[in-house]
Structure 1
């Protein structure tokens, strides 16, 4: 019970698994006092290091993100982890308000948990803006994949005009041309050529994600060198795009269309997403970021 392997296992359960000492004791069939002593030993032997991090001002982090990642804009918020995603809505809204969007401008919307949270929390009024999905839909029931619903809600909040894409993001090669030939779908996807601003998520490598979070195909799961993705355009940590068998048949705004857009805002939180956010910026798939202080510090550590 006192081996380093045991100390390591108990420490992981408590500090990473966030299990209480009582629950760990029940699982291992020992007393709570024993677990307390093991945790003390884990700290004494250097298995666990407790670090008090210096607080970095959000304004300073914002400036550093812009400088190190070559971004056009950034916003960093400090908020409790439980409510961090909705807290991104205000700085995102301010960024969109400063972008000069107006009636006839094109606002593209991606998918993901962070995108869902900021759209549901509210966007600023931009009467007459055209709101379009940045990608086709996915045959998934999870709420963070419902991109047409995000477009409907964003258009309702902004006073804009929704343009839906009723097509899958990854059709078969034989059916892709048929989808794109539909006049309604063609009118919507044509807006990708003149995106003025976009709000997108930054995805984790699928090996680091739960199946329900990514809903990746086997080909996507096999991309072992991917640092992350933006609307299923994959890149490595250096920002190099990674080709995969679905890239040529996706119905989504292309990397070139995203790079031409004046403003593409990546909304993402989580220290585990730092490398993906850095890669997305280096790939030119995002030109702005909205995140929290802990994620910003992790990004700067990797950049």
Structure 2
């Protein structure tokens, strides 16, 4: 675990240093694959200084080209991270939840296959942990927040939503989602999750139970809240 020693009120500036330390620990080099997710935290970090890894391939983990909010535009986050790290960006030119017809077409598209094929060979991933869906003021437009099961969830990693015990949540259209799968995420050697705030404590715990990350960057107040929760378990 890497900590910002104070409350991370400004996500990018507060978390850039510990995230940089976590990325350096990953030991990435030219030709290695770093996956990145969407979300406000990753968007903020993509505008900060990150370790230089010339030749590193930067790859999105979800679709999102039709999203109105910048932090759900994963290609833009991928491009910005690649610029900061002097890496090579790769893009997914699709929505997070394409239509059934488009989803069938994507499976046959060579470029789509090339980029999603990186998911099974990644050396590291940098991902955010989403807060409980029912309490969010911002979420991908592909996510049906009126779904009762989804509203009972505690968070998501790369649009993979889960309950408090880590069990996955399916919802209408989830089979069409363009996102790295939980099984693929679990096989990434170093998955660095970045999350802060009291509202994300259940999200962080649920993601850990689901095995969706194996390294954590947070701030000191959130770490203390996590310890209090774990002491009660």
Superposed CA RMSD in Å reads 1.7
Cα deviation for residue 244 of structure 1 reads 2.2
Who is 1:263 aligned against?
190
Cα distance in 2, alignment partners of residues 122 and 183 from structure 1:
33
Who is 2:202 aligned against?
275
Instruction: Call closer, same or farther: CA 1:217–1:153 in 2, change over 3 Å.
Output: closer
Q: Answer yes or no: is 1:217 the counterpart of 2:143.
A: yes
Instruction: Call closer, same or farther: CA 1:271–1:127 in 2, change over 3 Å.
Output: same
Instruction: Call closer, same or farther: CA 1:128–1:199 in 2, change over 3 Å.
Output: same
Who is 1:207 aligned against?
134
Cα deviation for residue 219 of structure 1 reads 5.6
How many corresponding residue pairs?
229
**Structure 2 runs not aligned, ≥5 long:** none
Bigger RCO of structures 1 and 2 (CA < 8 A, at least 6 apart): 2
Q: Answer yes or no: is 1:181 the counterpart of 2:108.
A: yes
- TM-score, L = length of structure 2: 0.91
8 Å contact 2:153–2:161 — kept in the other structure? yes
Flag the structure with larger Rg: 1
1:103-252 correspondence to structure 2 within 5 Å: 103-210=30-137, 212-215=138-141, 217-218=143-144, 221-222=147-148, 223-252=150-179
Secondary structure of 1:87's aligned partner: helix
1:202-259 CA-partner distances (Å, limit 9, x unpaired): 111221111x345453366431331111111111111111222333211111111100
Who is 1:82 aligned against?
9
Instruction: Call closer, same or farther: CA 1:220–1:132 in 2, change over 3 Å.
Output: farther
8 Å contact 1:112–1:201 — kept in the other structure? yes
Higher mean alpha-carbon deviation, 274-283 vs 132-141, is at 132-141
Kindly indicate which of the two structures has a greater share of residues assigned to helix: 1
Cα distance in 1, alignment partners of residues 7 and 206 from structure 2:
26
Secondary structure of 2:134's aligned partner: helix
**Structure 1 runs not aligned, ≥5 long:** 1-73
